[in-house]
Each structure stands twice: as structure tokens, then as C-alpha cells.
């Protein structure tokens, strides 16, 4: 049967088949090459001491303990701010705003524009507003709030699409049973929209944890252990950039730090994918 199908394909179908699989092969090969290079140079640097010790001699020696703490704190501030605002805005756009209304169209258009704004622009905005106007200075809080501004457009649009993908029968059935709008939203629509929320979260976290330009102007370069959210802290991406560009002889630790960053991204994406799978399974079972 496969041979019959392959013979019946016209040249355009065969060309499309080759292009699709060729593009997939190029992307996979590029990823494997980058990952292999990072593993080759950075695997020897990984150890418990490297993950917990502070950097020494401008990062040429020592570890990345304070860097990891600063990175997790910045990411925590980003998620703590962006998740409630993002989900709330997505609910407003999907459930309480008309598709043809001026407010909804302008808000969606603005979010689409913000999603494509370069990170350096967000960094300059964060420096002008959070660091100077609000007086937060170069701090973990400023960096986390700036990353939240970057993540929000992606998170809102993905979550909104998740809500719109929920069948209308859910809403009609809830109305027929006399359930309130809040109950329907919290116990029916929100669990069903979890896959869309997870997609936005994965994309947003992936962009936030690997961000460099925005954090240079907000969280700062200091590589010591932060004592509060108002302390300056160096994120892992900035540490890699600094070792690669500004510190001679820092390539070895830069590769090790890059490997840790890649592992963190893979763990976050795998966890989010698992949560999305569990959410879809529960949704199917409930239906």
C-alpha cells in the first residue's frame, strides 16, 4: 500500500515531502551539533562544587552557586507577577470581550506587537521605569519585573487561545445546570485550558531564563550571593556572556555554565510537557 501511495504522488507532493523532512533534518542536526559541542567542552566542568561554589578570579575559577540562586530568584519574580496577570487578562479577552469590539481588537494587536519587540527595548524600559522611576535600582526585583513584561504577551495570547479552544458545550452545560460564571471558570474552563497555559508558560520561561540584554540593564553584573530581592544579581545567561566576551580564559567555565542552562531548559520543557499531557488526559477522562 505504501508503494502504491508513493507511486501516486505527483512531483509537487514529493517535493513538499522532501522539503518538510529536509527542514526537520536540518533543525535536528543543528541542535545535535550545538548540544554535542556544549557537552564536549562543558561536561568535564560539571560537579557539585561547580554548582555550589562562588565564582573566583572573575569567573575563571570556582563555580556558579550565587549565579544559580540569582537566576532562580529572577525567574521566580517573573512567574509570580506574570502568571496571575496573564491568566486574568486571558480570561478577560476570551470570556468577557467581544472579538469585534474595539477594546479587544486593540488589546490583541498591542500584545502581538509587544511579543515581537526586541529584548533590549524591554531592558531600556525596565531600567528607566523600575530602576530609576520606582527607585529599585539594579536588583533582582527589577530584572524579574522586566522579564514579566516580556513574558506577558506570549503567555496571554497562548492562554487566551486555550480558553477559546474549549468547546462551547462546556459553557452551555454549565449554564443549564445553573452554575455561576465564577464556578464555571474555575472548575470547568480553566482546567480545560491548561494545555494552552502550559504552552505559553514554556515559551515564556524559555525566553526569560535565556535572556541577556534585558537583564544587563536591570539586574546587574554582581556575582555575589544575593541577600534580598533588592540586591543586584547576575543571571546565568549574563554570566555566560561575560565569560565568553569580557573574561580571557573563561571559556571553560562558560561552557560548563551553558550546559547547566541547557539542562535547566530541557527540565523545564519536559516538566511542562508532562503537565500538559496529564491535563489533557484528565480533560478526556472528565468528558
Tell me the pLDDT tens digit for each residue of 143-187: 999 999 999 998 898 888 888 888 888 888 888 887 777 788 887
Mean pLDDT of 112-126: 89
The answer, yes or no, to whether residue 133 has pLDDT greater than 90, is: yes
DSSP calls for the chain: -HHHHHHH--HHHHHHHHHHHHHHHHHHHHHHHHHHHHHHHHGGG-SHHHHHSPEEGGGTEE--HHHHHHHHHHHHHHHHHHHHHHHHHHHHHHHSS-TTSHHHHHHHHHHHHHHTS-HHHHHHHHIIIIIIIS---SSHHHHHHHHHHHHHHHHHHHHHHHHHTS-HHHHHHHHHTT--HHHHIIIIIHHHTHHHHHHHHHHHHHHHHT--HHHHTTT-S--SPPSSTTS----HHHHHHHHHHT-TT-HHHHHHHHHHHHHHHHHHHHHHHHHHHHHHHHHHHH-
Question: How much is the average pLDDT of 109-138?
Answer: 90
Please give the average per-residue pLDDT across 65-70, as a whole number: 92
- Greater pLDDT, 160 or 12: 160
User: For a pLDDT cut of 90, what percent of the chain falls above it?
Assistant: 24
**Mean pLDDT of the 249-272 span:** 86
Q: What is the pTM of this model?
A: 0.84
The answer, yes or no, to whether residue 273 has pLDDT greater than 90, is no
Average of per-residue pLDDT values in the chain: 84
Amino acid at each position: 500500500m505504501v508503494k502504491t501511495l508513493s507511486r501516486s504522488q505527483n512531483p509537487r507532493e514529493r517535493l513538499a515531502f522532501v522539503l518538510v523532512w529536509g527542514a526537520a533534518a536540518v533543525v535536528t542536526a543543528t541542535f545535535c551539533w550545538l548540544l554535542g559541542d556544549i557537552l564536549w567542552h562543558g561536561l568535564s566542568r560539571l560537579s557539585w562544587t561547580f554548582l555550589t561554589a562562588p565564582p573566583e578570579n572573575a569567573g575563571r575559577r570556582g563555580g556558579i552557586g550565587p549565579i544559580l540562586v540569582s537566576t532562580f530568584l529572577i525567574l521566580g519574580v517573573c512567574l509570580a507577577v506574570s502568571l496571575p496577570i496573564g491568566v486574568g487578562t486571558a480570561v478577560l479577552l476570551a470570556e468577557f470581550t467581544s472579538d469585534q469590539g474595539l477594546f479587544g481588537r486593540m488589546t490583541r494587536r498591542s500584545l502581538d506587537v509587544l511579543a515581537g519587540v526586541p529584548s533590549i527595548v524591554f531592558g531600556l524600559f525596565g531600567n528607566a521605569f523600575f530602576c530609576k522611576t520606582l527607585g529599585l535600582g539594579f536588583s533582582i526585583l527589577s530584572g524579574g519585573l522586566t522579564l514579566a513584561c516580556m513574558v506577558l504577551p506570549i503567555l496571554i495570547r497562548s492562554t487566551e487561545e486555550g480558553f477559546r479552544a474549549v468547546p462551547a458545550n462546556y459553557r452551555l452545560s454549565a449554564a443549564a445546570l445553573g452554575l455561576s460564571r465564577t464556578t464555571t471558570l474555575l472548575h470547568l474552563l480553566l482546567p480545560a485550558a491548561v494545555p494552552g497555559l502550559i504552552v505559553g508558560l514554556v515559551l515564556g520561561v524559555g525566553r526569560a531564563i535565556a535572556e541577556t540584554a534585558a537583564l544587563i540593564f536591570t539586574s546587574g553584573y554582581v556575582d555575589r550571593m544575593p541577600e534580598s530581592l533588592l540586591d543586584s544579581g547576575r543571571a546565568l545567561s549574563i554570566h555566560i556572556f561575560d565569560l565568553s566576551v569580557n573574561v580571557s580564559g573563561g571559556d571553560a567555565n562558560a561552557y560548563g555554565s551553558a550546559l547547566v542552562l541547557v539542562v535547566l531548559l530541557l527540565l523545564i520543557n519536559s516538566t511542562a510537557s508532562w503537565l500538559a499531557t496529564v491535563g489533557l488526559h484528565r480533560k478526556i477522562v472528565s468528558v
